[in-house]
Amino acid sequence: MSTLRPGSALPVGGAFDLVDHDGRPVTHETFRGAYALVFFGFTHCRVVCPRALGRLSTVLGLLGPDAARMQPLYITVDPERDHPSVMKAFLARWPGFLGLTGSREQIEAAKAAFHVFARRRDDPEDPNGYAVPHTAITYVIDPEGVCVDHFTDALSADEVAERLRTLIARNHRLNASEAGE
Protein backbone atom coordinates (compact mmCIF):
# COMPACT_ATOMS: atom_id res chain seq x y z
CA MET A 1 0.00 0.00 0.00
CA SER A 2 1.36 3.39 -0.89
CA THR A 3 1.56 6.22 1.61
CA LEU A 4 0.13 9.57 0.69
CA ARG A 5 2.11 12.67 1.41
CA PRO A 6 0.83 16.15 0.61
CA GLY A 7 2.52 17.46 -2.48
CA SER A 8 4.02 14.12 -3.39
CA ALA A 9 3.52 12.53 -6.76
CA LEU A 10 4.04 9.03 -8.01
CA PRO A 11 6.51 8.64 -10.87
CA VAL A 12 3.85 7.33 -13.26
CA GLY A 13 1.34 8.85 -15.60
CA GLY A 14 1.87 11.52 -18.14
CA ALA A 15 0.89 12.56 -21.59
CA PHE A 16 -1.39 10.45 -23.72
CA ASP A 17 -3.23 11.08 -26.97
CA LEU A 18 -6.15 8.70 -27.56
CA VAL A 19 -9.77 8.50 -28.75
CA ASP A 20 -12.73 8.05 -26.42
CA HIS A 21 -15.53 5.55 -26.92
CA ASP A 22 -17.58 8.20 -28.72
CA GLY A 23 -14.78 8.73 -31.25
CA ARG A 24 -13.62 12.08 -29.82
CA PRO A 25 -9.88 12.78 -29.53
CA VAL A 26 -8.72 13.12 -25.90
CA THR A 27 -5.42 13.81 -24.20
CA HIS A 28 -4.29 13.87 -20.59
CA GLU A 29 -5.28 17.58 -20.61
CA THR A 30 -8.92 16.71 -21.34
CA PHE A 31 -9.41 15.50 -17.77
CA ARG A 32 -7.78 18.40 -15.90
CA GLY A 33 -9.99 19.70 -13.12
CA ALA A 34 -11.28 16.27 -12.07
CA TYR A 35 -9.78 13.22 -10.46
CA ALA A 36 -9.19 10.57 -13.08
CA LEU A 37 -9.30 6.91 -12.09
CA VAL A 38 -7.22 5.20 -14.76
CA PHE A 39 -7.46 1.45 -15.33
CA PHE A 40 -5.95 -0.48 -18.25
CA GLY A 41 -7.66 -3.59 -19.61
CA PHE A 42 -9.41 -5.09 -22.61
CA THR A 43 -13.02 -5.86 -23.43
CA HIS A 44 -12.43 -9.61 -23.97
CA CYS A 45 -11.02 -9.95 -20.44
CA ARG A 46 -13.08 -12.57 -18.65
CA VAL A 47 -12.05 -12.05 -15.02
CA VAL A 48 -9.82 -9.14 -14.02
CA CYS A 49 -11.55 -6.30 -15.90
CA PRO A 50 -15.15 -7.17 -14.97
CA ARG A 51 -14.10 -7.56 -11.33
CA ALA A 52 -12.11 -4.29 -11.31
CA LEU A 53 -14.78 -2.28 -13.12
CA GLY A 54 -17.45 -3.65 -10.78
CA ARG A 55 -15.37 -2.76 -7.74
CA LEU A 56 -14.71 0.76 -9.04
CA SER A 57 -18.43 1.21 -9.73
CA THR A 58 -19.10 0.24 -6.13
CA VAL A 59 -16.46 2.75 -5.01
CA LEU A 60 -18.19 5.51 -6.96
CA GLY A 61 -21.46 4.60 -5.25
CA LEU A 62 -19.78 4.70 -1.84
CA LEU A 63 -18.36 8.16 -2.56
CA GLY A 64 -21.83 9.65 -2.96
CA PRO A 65 -21.65 13.28 -4.16
CA ASP A 66 -17.82 13.12 -4.31
CA ALA A 67 -18.16 10.67 -7.21
CA ALA A 68 -19.00 13.67 -9.39
CA ARG A 69 -15.35 14.73 -8.95
CA MET A 70 -14.13 11.48 -10.53
CA GLN A 71 -13.76 10.52 -14.17
CA PRO A 72 -13.14 6.79 -14.42
CA LEU A 73 -11.12 5.93 -17.53
CA TYR A 74 -10.70 2.49 -19.06
CA ILE A 75 -7.77 2.40 -21.47
CA THR A 76 -7.53 -0.63 -23.69
CA VAL A 77 -4.41 -2.74 -24.03
CA ASP A 78 -5.98 -4.45 -27.08
CA PRO A 79 -6.54 -1.74 -29.70
CA GLU A 80 -6.85 -4.28 -32.51
CA ARG A 81 -10.22 -5.43 -31.12
CA ASP A 82 -11.24 -2.54 -28.87
CA HIS A 83 -12.48 0.07 -31.29
CA PRO A 84 -14.56 2.95 -29.85
CA SER A 85 -17.92 1.30 -30.53
CA VAL A 86 -16.77 -1.99 -28.95
CA MET A 87 -15.58 -0.16 -25.85
CA LYS A 88 -18.80 1.83 -25.59
CA ALA A 89 -20.91 -1.32 -25.76
CA PHE A 90 -18.69 -3.11 -23.22
CA LEU A 91 -18.76 -0.20 -20.75
CA ALA A 92 -22.55 0.13 -20.86
CA ARG A 93 -22.56 -2.26 -17.89
CA TRP A 94 -20.54 0.27 -15.86
CA PRO A 95 -22.08 3.73 -16.35
CA GLY A 96 -19.76 6.66 -15.95
CA PHE A 97 -16.68 4.94 -17.35
CA LEU A 98 -15.12 6.41 -20.44
CA GLY A 99 -13.32 3.96 -22.70
CA LEU A 100 -10.14 5.13 -24.43
CA THR A 101 -8.43 3.52 -27.39
CA GLY A 102 -6.09 4.45 -30.21
CA SER A 103 -3.49 3.07 -32.54
CA ARG A 104 -1.05 0.43 -31.33
CA GLU A 105 1.61 3.16 -31.03
CA GLN A 106 -0.70 5.45 -29.00
CA ILE A 107 -1.61 2.61 -26.64
CA GLU A 108 2.03 1.60 -26.21
CA ALA A 109 2.88 5.22 -25.30
CA ALA A 110 0.07 5.34 -22.70
CA LYS A 111 1.16 1.98 -21.25
CA ALA A 112 4.74 3.22 -21.00
CA ALA A 113 3.66 6.42 -19.24
CA PHE A 114 1.84 4.38 -16.58
CA HIS A 115 4.38 1.50 -16.47
CA VAL A 116 1.64 -0.95 -17.44
CA PHE A 117 2.51 -4.49 -18.41
CA ALA A 118 0.31 -6.12 -21.05
CA ARG A 119 1.36 -8.71 -23.56
CA ARG A 120 -0.68 -10.75 -26.03
CA ARG A 121 -0.57 -14.50 -25.53
CA ASP A 122 -2.39 -17.49 -27.02
CA ASP A 123 -5.71 -18.36 -25.37
CA PRO A 124 -7.61 -21.30 -26.90
CA GLU A 125 -10.73 -20.34 -24.88
CA ASP A 126 -10.95 -16.92 -26.52
CA PRO A 127 -12.93 -16.75 -29.83
CA ASN A 128 -10.02 -14.86 -31.44
CA GLY A 129 -7.42 -17.19 -29.94
CA TYR A 130 -5.66 -14.72 -27.70
CA ALA A 131 -5.83 -12.81 -24.44
CA VAL A 132 -3.84 -9.88 -23.13
CA PRO A 133 -2.81 -10.41 -19.51
CA HIS A 134 -2.23 -7.00 -17.96
CA THR A 135 -1.43 -4.98 -14.88
CA ALA A 136 -4.46 -4.65 -12.60
CA ILE A 137 -3.76 -1.32 -10.92
CA THR A 138 -6.00 1.73 -10.76
CA TYR A 139 -4.10 5.01 -10.90
CA VAL A 140 -5.48 8.21 -9.37
CA ILE A 141 -4.67 11.40 -11.27
CA ASP A 142 -5.45 14.58 -9.34
CA PRO A 143 -7.17 17.66 -10.86
CA GLU A 144 -3.72 19.10 -11.65
CA GLY A 145 -2.84 16.05 -13.75
CA VAL A 146 -0.45 14.45 -11.24
CA CYS A 147 -0.60 10.77 -10.33
CA VAL A 148 -1.09 10.84 -6.55
CA ASP A 149 -2.00 7.26 -5.68
CA HIS A 150 -2.68 3.81 -7.04
CA PHE A 151 -4.76 0.89 -5.89
CA THR A 152 -3.99 -2.74 -6.39
CA ASP A 153 -6.63 -5.30 -7.19
CA ALA A 154 -6.39 -6.60 -3.60
CA LEU A 155 -8.05 -3.60 -1.92
CA SER A 156 -11.75 -3.70 -1.13
CA ALA A 157 -14.19 -1.11 -2.43
CA ASP A 158 -14.49 0.30 1.12
CA GLU A 159 -10.70 0.71 1.37
CA VAL A 160 -10.47 2.42 -2.01
CA ALA A 161 -13.39 4.74 -1.20
CA GLU A 162 -11.79 5.73 2.11
CA ARG A 163 -8.46 6.50 0.44
CA LEU A 164 -10.19 8.61 -2.20
CA ARG A 165 -12.11 10.52 0.50
CA THR A 166 -8.80 11.17 2.27
CA LEU A 167 -7.25 12.41 -0.98
CA ILE A 168 -10.17 14.72 -1.73
CA ALA A 169 -10.17 16.13 1.83
CA ARG A 170 -6.38 16.66 1.77
CA ASN A 171 -6.54 18.39 -1.60
CA HIS A 172 -9.41 20.58 -0.37
CA ARG A 173 -7.38 21.57 2.74
CA LEU A 174 -4.31 22.37 0.62
CA ASN A 175 -6.34 24.50 -1.78
CA ALA A 176 -8.03 26.34 1.12
CA SER A 177 -4.63 26.96 2.74
CA GLU A 178 -3.18 28.32 -0.52
CA ALA A 179 -6.22 30.58 -0.91
CA GLY A 180 -5.66 31.93 2.64
CA GLU A 181 -8.92 30.53 4.01
Q: What domains are defined for the chain? A: 17-176 (3.40.30.10)
Ligand-binding annotation for 147, yes or no, is: no
Known binder of ligand: residue 134?
Answer: yes
Do residues 58 and 162 lie in contact, with contact meaning Cβ atoms separated by under 8 Å?
no
Q: pTM to 2 decimals?
A: 0.90
Q: How far apart are the first and last CA of the chain?
A: 32
pLDDT digits (tens, 9 = 90+) for 13-42: 888 999 999 999 999 999 999 999 999 999
Q: Residues 77-120: pLDDT tens digits?
A: 999 999 999 999 999 999 999 999 999 999 999 999 999 999 99
21 is in an annotated binding site: no
